[in-house]
């Protein structure tokens, strides 16, 4: 993670990989596609694709593989995730992802999550305690207009610099915006207008 801070300090191009889940079926055993987009600052450079189980527990392992088992890994400065969970409540263990990848990991949200609602929804799962523990492990939610974010492996001020540099316009870093557009186009035939 030292190289990330050095790249920030020297004002170098920041190469990030951003993940978002694609639209998915509400069936209990459905698989959910996950697109990962590599950008250098805001320029698209590559893509990875994976799958997780809807409401499953394999999201963290999937992201670790997608981040570390590709040709871009050695050049990455950070991992961005659109929300803390994929496919409903397949919750990402943010500190574990950061540790396994040796990269700062940042969860980006457009609005403050309803933590009371999340807690209530997770109580329907038999493994509630382990799921809510993952939500809590993601840490403090920072409000830095236009982003809400959580981070692991990096301080909030440095995470804010990364988000600013990899965002072109609007409230969504470019890697996450493209991940959303591609995922929705592949699954529904047309890209969604909300990234």
**What is the residue extent of each domain of the chain?**
2-188
pLDDT in tens, 97-141: 999 999 999 999 999 999 999 999 999 999 999 999 999 999 999
Alpha helices, H only, 87-155: 94-101, 115-122, 128-137
3-state secondary structure string, 29-41? CCEEEEEEEEEEC
pLDDT (0 to 100) of residue 27: 72
The kind and range of the H/E element at 181 are helix 174-188
Contact yes or no for 98/153 (Cβ under 8 A): yes
pLDDT (0 to 100) of residue 53: 94
Rounded CA-CA distance 97/74 in Å is: 16
Contact yes or no for 40/100 (Cβ under 8 A): no
Give domain 2-188's CATH architecture: 2-Layer Sandwich (3.30)
pLDDT (0 to 100) of residue 24: 83
Q: Is the pLDDT of residue 25 over 80?
A: no
pLDDT (0 to 100) of residue 145: 86
Q: Is the pLDDT of residue 1 over 70?
A: no
Cα-Cα end-to-end distance for the chain: 28
Q: How large is the angle between the packed helices 2-9 and 156-165, nearest 10 degrees?
A: 60
Q: Is the pLDDT of residue 14 over 80?
A: yes
Rounded CA-CA distance 69/54 in Å is: 23
Handedness of CA 154, 157, 159, 161 (dihedral sign): negative
Other residues' Cβ atoms within 10 Å of the Cβ of residue 123: 10
Other residues' Cβ atoms within 10 Å of the Cβ of residue 179: 30
- The pTM of the whole model exceeds 0.85: yes
pLDDT in tens, 41-71: 999 999 999 999 999 999 999 999 999 999 9
């Amino acid at each position: 993670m030292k190289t990330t801070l050095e790249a920030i300090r020297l004002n170098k191009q920041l190469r990030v990989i951003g993940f978002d889940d694609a639209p998915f079926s509400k069936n209990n055993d459905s698989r959910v596609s996950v697109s990962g987009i590599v950008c250098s600052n805001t320029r698209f450079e590559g893509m990875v694709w994976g799958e997780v189980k809807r409401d499953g527990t394999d999201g963290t392992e999937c992201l670790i593989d997608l981040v570390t088992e590709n040709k871009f890994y050695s050049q990455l400065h950070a991992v961005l995730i659109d929300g803390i969970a994929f496919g409903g409540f397949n919750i990402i263990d943010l500190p574990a992802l950061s540790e396994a990848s040796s990269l700062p990991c940042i969860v980006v949200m457009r609005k403050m999550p309803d933590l009371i609602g999340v807690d209530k929804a997770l109580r329907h799962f038999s493994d509630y305690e382990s799921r809510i523990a993952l939500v809590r492990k993601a840490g403090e939610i920072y409000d830095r207009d236009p982003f809400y974010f959580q981070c692991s492996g990096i301080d909030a001020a440095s995470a804010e610099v990364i988000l600013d540099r990899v965002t072109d316009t609007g409230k969504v870093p470019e890697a996450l915006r493209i991940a959303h557009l591609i995922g929705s186009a592949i699954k529904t035939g047309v890209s969604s207008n909300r990234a």
